[in-house]
Chain A
């Protein structure tokens, strides 16, 4: 451990309101949830901050609650809980993302709120929340507010959250009936890996057409992003026909809209060469994942 642990101060709140008081105090402490990102930085001596607010006593921030509109997930809910919760079967992409975060040990500690607060462009769950148009509830001593997830990430590791605010919960609306979702984490190995590209796509389908398309990426820009130009290129066009339907074997309209979506990605994404991958690979794979989403959709049971 390169960080000097003897210099570290950890505050333990009695409850949420106490936590909000403490985080507003000077010097402002860093919220500590599962610690799975923070401890890596402390071990490497790369975390200069020394005052932390331990969120673990805040039971109110845990748990998963379903309603008619969607599901509300407490910010301290772990990926293990998300992975195993029966009520999330209509959000298979979120469950898939939770199952691919780190390994079992990481999933037991790491939280959904921590994944957001850490604001890594590679955060596994973030494209899922973006593609599902999640809303994030935030609290401070000044009160509560809600913010759409796509307005949250303002710059590299920067959030539209004030330093005295805490993430309370995440609301994910249920997808429309018959919607198709795909999550892909393209990494280097099958566990404990940080993604080269992470993707979530959701197709809301009406008849044979793609009524609403949501595509989101991680590790493809300084922040997790929605690919709006690519979404526009797909919206309104028809799904590819499965074999036997439509004209046999014809690639049909959506192949050209898929190509248009791939081209449009250059407006949406700005990947870089870094320690884990390179720009060319990332751009190419980003486009191919849209094609995979369309193949999955084409073969999904008709509604």
Chain B
């Protein structure tokens, strides 16, 4: 479909990078040989269940075990059983593993039960009676800011960030037009295929072995150390085959893993906790809802002069990752544009809803949705074409972001926009759609039906976004990721990192990067399981960092390994057989060979946490989407007809996997834009089932044409930048713009459900 894919048939013999080799774990997954957590059979295992709050806020008065129930064989644990601190360690460390005397959100865990028969465990859960005295709850951003009740500090604000550059007053006085707008986006569930699931066992040496479906083994490891007051060496965390994450298994596995471990600790038996879909949707993390108010100044010729951006995000009941989600959202709020004068004020507030957390994009989709909608509002006010306005203001090398970061290299903003405009035949397609819409209107007025009596209109919208790869600011320096490679007994090179395969192709990508440097085929490289007992801490699998940061370290390890072996052999190594031969000789003569590389800040990258100034990211990736929709004017249903996208990711290490990330992220973005809406009832998630939390099906997936643009980054392996999250940022605003093109009405809140579009059309008198 994309030209990038067409190229992959050409295989250059020893090369792996840029070639779509077979997935390392693909056969196991396709044949069903892969063992997910719930597939693991462990003798003597107990099945854990969680007793949760049914109210959003209250004081726990009494917990009673129904005396009529047969409690034989049931293990019960509450906060008093926790050997260490009752906290799920993350950043602010404010979230308890189990509630003590108050609950701050519905579904907050209060007590745990386990039994060897899962049916008895479920019955036991229902036999626990919790009496809670309800307190006034804060359920929305508006309630939080109005201090309807105080649920955090004296203002319900977890975190406030201000980013300012230039002179805002001057910027607005330079403007010919000042345009204001308010944009909203709601919760979104990650909806990985495999629900959250963990298994915990006590070890003979008095420690813990915890396995499960997770993204960040060392996050769980560190959380367990605190909960159980154990030294690092007594805890071992292993990732099992994982059916998707999207951020939903970044921080939550520390919670469910802690629960399983607590039951195992108390009972001395292995304990499995596997959520079903209802529990997973109701209780686990979601994308942060956001309200963005924008005021932008622009000159008649389309030059942007000033942006005042006020962002509020709903963090939920505990701070967890809110400060960093907010930070990424704020840093991306001005989009890939030149704004000489800008102020971004961002607040993350507390509400009595389950904590919101990591989700692909991590705040950037919310703010760039608002900004891109606003760009279309500006274009409309100027009577200027949406692509032209973006192109005129898109960042180039040498431009400066709101944090003062000078963009020094690999800036693909204009290229991706130009490619999308060309491939969608933007101007001609818009004119043709307008002509067809006008003809349909005339036909309907004369009672001449077309389309089976349906009144359909088409529309085409565009968006342009960017996404910083890696941890924000000095985050990567603090992580100080360590990657290693060694030789296994058979003389195969082996990668040892803590980064996880969650469906995105991590292991294949590592194998390719190592293979390329070692000049062997990718399938010759072994990848060690992410097990904190045997891999170094190469950081979490989040933030589009795995390839760019950790992949770079693996490539360095592999290069050093080849040099070491060639020095030993006193000749170049040629291919896999030769490598194994030399490696086995090395092992016999010198013993083990282990190479480690730690992250070093690339030269010229500076960040100041206190002033929030400097290089927020080493580099940004860029994406543009042109999306065509069809709207039924009677039912207000929107169907996505077609997506054209171009994304600058530096280098596609594996073109098919990279295009897969882009297609999947685009569809997830379309779901967020049109379908996915969490409904709440008295502070609890109402639609916690796949029958009523609606994500796109394959029947809803439009053709998505992907063009990968490769503008290399000097500090990424082979020029690679991040790709995981970028595709999530672009679709929603393009959908809103396309609906506006089709109907003449710009909706300012997503998802654009039929109900919401109908209200907007009615308010506009249509």
Interface residues of A (CB under 8 A from B): 1-2, 4-7, 40, 43-45, 103, 182, 184, 186, 188-194, 196-197, 240-243, 248-249, 251, 275-278, 280-281, 284-285, 288-289, 291-296, 298-299
Chain B residue nearest to A300 (CB atoms) is: B449
Q: List 22 A-B contacts (CB under 8 A).
A: A2-B122, A2-B278, A4-B122, A45-B122, A103-B697, A186-B637, A188-B753, A189-B694, A189-B696, A189-B697, A190-B697, A190-B700, A196-B754, A197-B635, A275-B692, A278-B755, A281-B636, A281-B755, A288-B634, A292-B634, A296-B449, A299-B448
Cα A291 to Cα B639 with chains together (Å)? 21
Cα A103 to Cα B119 with chains together (Å)? 31
Q: Which of A43, A192, A295 contacts B449 (CB 8 A)?
A: A295
- A186-B754, A278-B755 are known; give 14 further A-B pairs, CB within 8 A: A186-B635, A189-B699, A190-B700, A242-B447, A243-B447, A249-B445, A249-B446, A275-B686, A276-B692, A281-B755, A284-B758, A289-B635, A291-B634, A292-B455
| A6 → B minimal CB distance (Å) | 6
Q: With an 8 A cutoff between CB atoms, is B29 at the interface? A: no
Known: A43-B276, A188-B675. A249 touches B447 (CB 8 A): yes
Contacting pair A292 B758 (CB below 8 A): no
Contacting pair A285 B635 (CB below 8 A): yes
Give the residues in chain A near B276, CB-CB below 8 Å.
1-2, 43
Q: Which of B119, B444, B455, B694 contacts A193 (CB 8 A)?
A: B694
Give the residues in chain B near A197, CB-CB below 8 Å.
635
Contacting pair B697 A192 (CB below 8 A): yes
Chain B residue nearest to A249 (CB atoms) is: B446
Chain A residue nearest to B681 (CB atoms) is: A275
- Contact-size category for B: 35 or more
Known: A243-B446, A291-B634, A296-B453. A277 touches B755 (CB 8 A): yes
Give the residues in chain A near B449, CB-CB below 8 Å.
242, 295-296, 298-299
Contacting pair A295 B694 (CB below 8 A): no
Interface residues of B (CB under 8 A from A): 119, 122-123, 276, 278, 444-449, 452-455, 634-637, 639, 675, 679, 686-687, 689, 691-692, 694, 696-700, 753-755, 758
Chain B residue nearest to A193 (CB atoms) is: B694
Give the residues in chain B near A191, CB-CB below 8 Å.
697-700
Most buried by A among B444, B449, B698, B753: B449
Closest 4 CB pairs of A and B: A296-B453, A295-B453, A299-B449, A288-B634
Cα A34 to Cα B231 with chains together (Å)? 54
Q: Which of B123, B452, B675 contacts A189 (CB 8 A)?
A: B675
Most buried by B among A43, A186, A189, A243: A189
Give the residues in chain B near A5, CB-CB below 8 Å.
119
Give the residues in chain A near B697, CB-CB below 8 Å.
103, 189-192
Contacting pair A288 B753 (CB below 8 A): no
| A110 → B minimal CB distance (Å) | 14
Known: A275-B679, A292-B453. A194 touches B692 (CB 8 A): yes
Contacting pair A295 B687 (CB below 8 A): no
Cα A4 to Cα B755 with chains together (Å)? 39
Chain A residue nearest to B454 (CB atoms) is: A292
Give the residues in chain A near B686, CB-CB below 8 Å.
275
Known: A2-B276, A182-B453. A188 touches B446 (CB 8 A): no
Contacting pair B634 A281 (CB below 8 A): no
Cα A278 to Cα B698 with chains together (Å)? 27
Contacting pair B452 A296 (CB below 8 A): yes
Give the residues in chain A near B694, CB-CB below 8 Å.
188-189, 193
Q: Which of A6, A44, A190 contacts B119 (CB 8 A)?
A: A6
Contacting pair A190 B447 (CB below 8 A): no
Contacting pair A281 B447 (CB below 8 A): no
Contacting pair B447 A293 (CB below 8 A): no
Cα A281 to Cα B758 with chains together (Å)? 7
Cα A281 to Cα B636 with chains together (Å)? 10
Chain A residue nearest to B122 (CB atoms) is: A2
Chain A residue nearest to B447 (CB atoms) is: A240
Cα A175 to Cα B202 with chains together (Å)? 71
| B758 → A minimal CB distance (Å) | 6
Cα A299 to Cα B453 with chains together (Å)? 8
| B264 → A minimal CB distance (Å) | 23
Cα A295 to Cα B758 with chains together (Å)? 21
| B96 → A minimal CB distance (Å) | 26
Give the residues in chain A near B119, CB-CB below 8 Å.
4-7
Contacting pair A251 B447 (CB below 8 A): yes
Cα A140 to Cα B386 with chains together (Å)? 68
Cα A249 to Cα B442 with chains together (Å)? 10
Cα A193 to Cα B119 with chains together (Å)? 30
Cα A242 to Cα B694 with chains together (Å)? 39
Chain B residue nearest to A297 (CB atoms) is: B453
Chain B residue nearest to A4 (CB atoms) is: B119
Cα A226 to Cα B278 with chains together (Å)? 35
Contacting pair A298 B447 (CB below 8 A): yes
Chain B residue nearest to A245 (CB atoms) is: B447
Contacting pair B687 A275 (CB below 8 A): yes
Cα A284 to Cα B766 with chains together (Å)? 13
| A23 → B minimal CB distance (Å) | 27
Contacting pair B447 A241 (CB below 8 A): yes
Contacting pair B447 A189 (CB below 8 A): no
Chain B residue nearest to A254 (CB atoms) is: B447
Contacting pair A289 B692 (CB below 8 A): no
Contacting pair A285 B634 (CB below 8 A): yes
| A210 → B minimal CB distance (Å) | 15
Cα A125 to Cα B276 with chains together (Å)? 30
Give the residues in chain B near A103, CB-CB below 8 Å.
697, 699
Cα A240 to Cα B686 with chains together (Å)? 44
Give the residues in chain A near B699, CB-CB below 8 Å.
103, 189-191
Known: A189-B697, A242-B448. A44 touches B278 (CB 8 A): yes
Give the residues in chain A near B444, CB-CB below 8 Å.
295
Cα A94 to Cα B689 with chains together (Å)? 28
Contacting pair B753 A190 (CB below 8 A): no
Cα A293 to Cα B686 with chains together (Å)? 34
Cα A207 to Cα B755 with chains together (Å)? 38
Chain A residue nearest to B126 (CB atoms) is: A45
Cα A2 to Cα B279 with chains together (Å)? 11
Known: A182-B453, A188-B675, A194-B691. A295 touches B278 (CB 8 A): no
Give the residues in chain B near A251, CB-CB below 8 Å.
447
Cα A5 to Cα B120 with chains together (Å)? 11
Cα A301 to Cα B452 with chains together (Å)? 13
Give the residues in chain B near A288, CB-CB below 8 Å.
634-635
Chain A residue nearest to B688 (CB atoms) is: A44
| A62 → B minimal CB distance (Å) | 27
| A119 → B minimal CB distance (Å) | 17
| B760 → A minimal CB distance (Å) | 12
Cα A281 to Cα B691 with chains together (Å)? 20
Chain B residue nearest to A282 (CB atoms) is: B755
Chain B residue nearest to A44 (CB atoms) is: B278
Chain B residue nearest to A45 (CB atoms) is: B122
Chain B residue nearest to A244 (CB atoms) is: B448
| A179 → B minimal CB distance (Å) | 15
Chain A residue nearest to B677 (CB atoms) is: A188
Give the residues in chain B near A299, CB-CB below 8 Å.
448-449, 453
Cα A243 to Cα B753 with chains together (Å)? 34
Cα A276 to Cα B637 with chains together (Å)? 14
Cα A182 to Cα B694 with chains together (Å)? 26
Cα A51 to Cα B336 with chains together (Å)? 62
| B145 → A minimal CB distance (Å) | 26
Cα A292 to Cα B692 with chains together (Å)? 27
Cα A284 to Cα B449 with chains together (Å)? 21
| A76 → B minimal CB distance (Å) | 23
Chain A residue nearest to B692 (CB atoms) is: A275
Give the residues in chain A near B754, CB-CB below 8 Å.
186, 188, 196, 277, 281, 285
Give the residues in chain A near B446, CB-CB below 8 Å.
243, 248-249
| B687 → A minimal CB distance (Å) | 5
Give the residues in chain B near A4, CB-CB below 8 Å.
119, 122-123
Cα A109 to Cα B247 with chains together (Å)? 35
Give the residues in chain A near B636, CB-CB below 8 Å.
281, 285
Cα A243 to Cα B122 with chains together (Å)? 65
Contacting pair A295 B447 (CB below 8 A): yes
